[in-house]
Structure 1
Amino acid sequence: MAIVCSVADQGVAALTNILVLVVAARLSTAAGFSVFSLVYAVFTVLLGLSVSYVGQALVLESGGPDVRGACRSAVVFTAGASAAVGAAMGAALSFVPGGTAGGLAVLGLVLPVVLTQDTLRYCFSALRLPHHALAADLVRLAAAVPALAVQPYGSDPARLVAVWGLSALPAVLTAVALLRPRLRGVPADPWRYLRRGHLGRRFAAEFAVGNASSQLAIVGLGLFASPLAVGALRGATTLFGPMNVLFNAATGFGPPLLNRSPVLGRQIRATLALAAALAMLAAAWAAVLYGLPGRLGRQLLGATWESAAELLPATGSQYAAMAAGTCALLTLRVLSPRTTLPLQVVFSLVSVGCLLGGYAVGGVLGAAWGMCVGSALKGCAAWLRVAVLAVARR
């Protein structure tokens, strides 16, 4: 039952993100969605850093004697740190002209709400209460999508960011109500997250080189080159949201399943089969999306559909390559966990180079194919490392 609730919770959280972007695209002009996408990309980076620094370290204490104190400390730290960062963003950008600066300023104001809500999810995971996390995320889904859907067409991106951020308040209140009886009387020590040796520093560094670098490169394209590029890339990748759910499920639940079989060859064959299945599924999903009539496509992404549709072959190919890379990294986490960080560092920089080089050569379409090439190179390198380890252990 706990596994079912955990998978369902991941699915609901992913569905919320997908529907938020879809609804925002339908309500916006192409230029407006580009700004919203850029702000959302910045949020994605900040969320990833928060999850790495606080959430991943927190779940390692699951079942430990101090888990309740760790949960209370995590919530207090996240609320305080995100409020400080958000206030700085809001103060610095409030008087900067332009829609992008306005959207980022509003993001700073709602940052404590959205980041605290996510940390509460990890508290339930650490306390082994995934059904409570699922309940709070269902409230989040039920509040966010209707709140955005009732906004008028052509709404300012800053307004959409504000509505999206504040719609997390019901989920926060629900989670706090469910969590409070478990943490009553437990002291908080938020300073533990600033002490030397905190594991979250390593996790945050791995996220920064593994995921945040490519996100920041896309943000850079929007700020210094073409804001429309961000909207097109984000629109195309939003349509592949179901694949992200499957990748996350493979990463989260794959290691314990693989460890049930100590036979090396059997483990590798299992992840190879999973990689092939996910790659074929990504290709099939890309074919379905590419065959959508324009009328249906515009119902999904509004004015952004035309630019996003041109990128679907490249994005579908990228997700097929990502399937191979995800399963290779899953294999390495089981065989030799320390080998993943160097791969992430090197090939994340390679991916950024491919993204920027592709944009320089072929514009937005070139950037999409550059991301595909970067993912393919990363997957090949990871599987090569798996092969070397397999030979060494024979």
Structure 2
Amino acid sequence: MRARGAVAASVADQGVAALTNILVLVAAARLSTVADFARFSAVYLVFTVLLGIFGAYTGQPLVLTRGAEAARGACRSAVAFALLAATVLGALLAGTALLVPGGTARALLALGLVLPVVLGQDAMRYAFSTLRLPHLALAADLLRLGCVLGALGTQNHGAGAARLVAVWGLSALPALVLSAVLLHSRTSVPGARTELRPYLRRGHLGQRFVVEFGVGNATSQLSVLGLGTVGSPLVVGALRGATTLFGPLNVLFTSATSFGPPLLSRVGDERRRVRATAALAGVLATTAALWATVLALLPDRVGAQLLGDTWASAAALLPATGSQYAAMAVGTCGLLALRMLDPRTTLAIQVVFSLAAVVFLIAGYAAAGVTGAAWGLCLGSVCKAVATWTRVARLRRAGGAGTPAVSASAVRSAP
């Protein structure tokens, strides 16, 4: 597949996957009461964290694989490991939820049962990307989008969180089957072996990526979940409802970080690459501000069509969440610039300022409730953006040169 077609298919696939997640939350909000949507949001947040962990541990090392034969074997191994690990984790989650009463526990039980389906299908998306066949991932994700909307569309208003989680998870089965058939036909070669041991060895590259994901993404999400546990469950629903409205921007951020380095590497020199990255930051931040303005101008009846009863609480957070996403745009591009200059510097920034965002979140909630929590997250994103570009400026003044990219041999182990 030609480079332009592969990029277009990859971007479209990310868009379809993000759209699926957005529409699932929108459908759940419209089908649920405020309390049930809060439960569904909490469980879906757990799934989102697990999805990121699995992607970091198996998917990101997988896409570094080079060579057709090595890629086929690596894809088979990664998918097999993801399915096995998801089955074990799902059984543990379901077994634990059986011992706990309440609607949220029942929804977690349903998540445990469908976890191999949803995580297995996502692992195959990474495999198609590694094989340079993103159009096959796109086909499977389009099938999943159609199935999940059709399945949720048959549910009546007032459906419980556990039922919605089960329906959402099982609707991914057709996409899983299609992906498995397509992947098998392209990786089944004589003598091909499925190796699981590299994923269990100390020093596996995925372990580093999980740490970066944990400090960069999961920390704030888990802190929101914690606030819903010790405070009010409605906090989770309000914050998740607001961030759902900004889902299209997540697609832009993901596309920038995924395709930015190879495209920017074509720019003549380091100085021009940093300038191009800064220009991209300005474009994305402006887009976030314009999107927040559009959402703020929506009539309440239109907003209620999107998020149902959760619209009122989510709409109150739009100024804070819109400002947060503008800051995230700047910070994302700052991290992109650092990866080109010296990728060793990004982990420390992720650790320090992700933890700072959690502190701001908790302090904001203590001072002004859910609105304060949203502004706390915004402040954390602003601080991270300032730190990334400050570091970029220091490296530029010092004449820092980029370090070599991770080699394919590092997929199996890392020092």
Equivalent runs, 1:324-363 vs 2, <5 Å: 324-363=330-369
Report the Cα distance in structure 2 between the residues aligned to 1:118 and 1:355, rounded to whole angstroms.
Answer: 30
Q: Residues 200-279 of structure 1 correspond to what in structure 2 (within 5 A)?
A: 200-279=206-285
One-letter amino acid matched to 1:245: V
Gaps of 5+ in 1: none
CA RMSD across the alignment: 1.1
CA contact (8 A) 1:27 1:154 kept: yes
CA distance in 2, matches of 1:301, 1:242: 16
Distance 2:112 2:286 in 1: 40
- Where does structure 2 lack aligned partners over 5 or more consecutive residues? 401-415
* Pair 1:21-2:25 in alignment: yes
Alpha-carbon offset, residue 75 of structure 1: 1.2
Could you tell which deviates more after superposition, 99-108 or 62-71? 62-71
Task: Report the Cα distance in structure 2 between the residues aligned to 1:258 and 1:383, rounded to whole angstroms.
Answer: 17
- Counterpart in 1 of 2:412? none
AA paired with 1:211? N
SS in 1 for 2:69: coil
Maintained 8 Å contact 1:2/1:131: yes
The 8 Å contact of residues 63 and 126 in structure 1, kept in 2 or not, is answered as no
Which residues in structure 2 correspond to 1:30-41 (within 5 Å)? 30-41=34-45
Q: Does 1:142 align with 2:146?
A: yes
Q: What secondary structure is seen at the aligned counterpart in 2 of 1:193?
A: helix
Normalising by the residue count of structure 1, what TM-score does the alignment of the two structures yield? 0.98
Give the match for residue 155 of structure 2: 151
Q: C-alpha deviations, 1:305-344, integer Å up to 9, x for none?
A: 0000000010000001001101100100111111100000
2:102 is aligned with 1:89: no
1:368 maps to which of 362, 368, 374: 374
Q: Which amino acid aligns with 1:330?
A: L
Q: Which amino acid aligns with 1:111?
A: L
Whether the aligned pair in 1 keeps the contact of 2:61 and 2:205 (CA below 8 Å) is yes
Deviation of 1:196 (Å): 2.3
**TM-score normalised per structure 2:** 0.93
Q: Within 5 Å, which residues of 2 pair with 1:97-246? A: 97-184=101-188, 185=190, 186-246=192-252
Given that 1:63 and 1:127 are in contact with CA atoms closer than 8 Å, whether structure 2 keeps it comes out as no
User: Which sits farther off after the overlay, 250-259 or 265-274?
Assistant: 265-274
SS in 2 for 1:66: helix
Q: CA deviation at 1:134?
A: 0.6
State the distance in 2 between where 1:23 and 1:369 align: 27
Q: Distance in 1 between matches of 2:385 and 2:7?
A: 28
* Alpha-carbon distance in structure 2 between the residues aligned to 1:64 and 1:179: 14
8 Å Cα contact 1:62/1:128 also seen in 2: no
Distance 1:64 1:353 in 2: 46
1:136-162 per-residue CA deviation (whole Å, 9 max, x = no partner) reads: 111111101121122110110010000
Amino acid in structure 1 at the alignment position of 2:48: T
SS at 1:151 equivalent? coil
1:64 positional shift: 5.1
Distance 1:79 1:222 in 2: 30
Give the CA deviation at 1:127: 0.8
Secondary structure at the aligned position of 2:193 is classed as: coil
User: Is the deviation greater in 177-186 or in 228-237?
Assistant: 177-186
